[in-house]
Amino acid sequence: MSDRVVMYSRVGCHLCAEARGVVQEVCGRQGVSFTEVDVDADAELKERYGDEVPVVTVDGAVVGFWRIDPTVLAHALES
22-50, pLDDT tens digit by residue?
999 999 999 999 999 999 999 999 999 98
Alpha carbon of 13 to those of 40, 50, 52, 75: distances in Å?
12, 11, 11, 26
The answer to whether the predicted template modeling score (pTM) of the entire model surpasses 0.75 is yes
CA atoms within a 13 Å half-sphere pointing along the CA-CB vector of 47? 3
DSSP-assigned letter for residue 41? G
Beta strand 5-9 with 55-58 is antiparallel
- Domains of the chain from N-terminus onward: 5-78 (3.40.30.10)
Q: Band the pLDDT of 21: cuts 50, 70, 90.
A: very high
Q: What's the average model confidence in pLDDT over 68-78?
A: 97
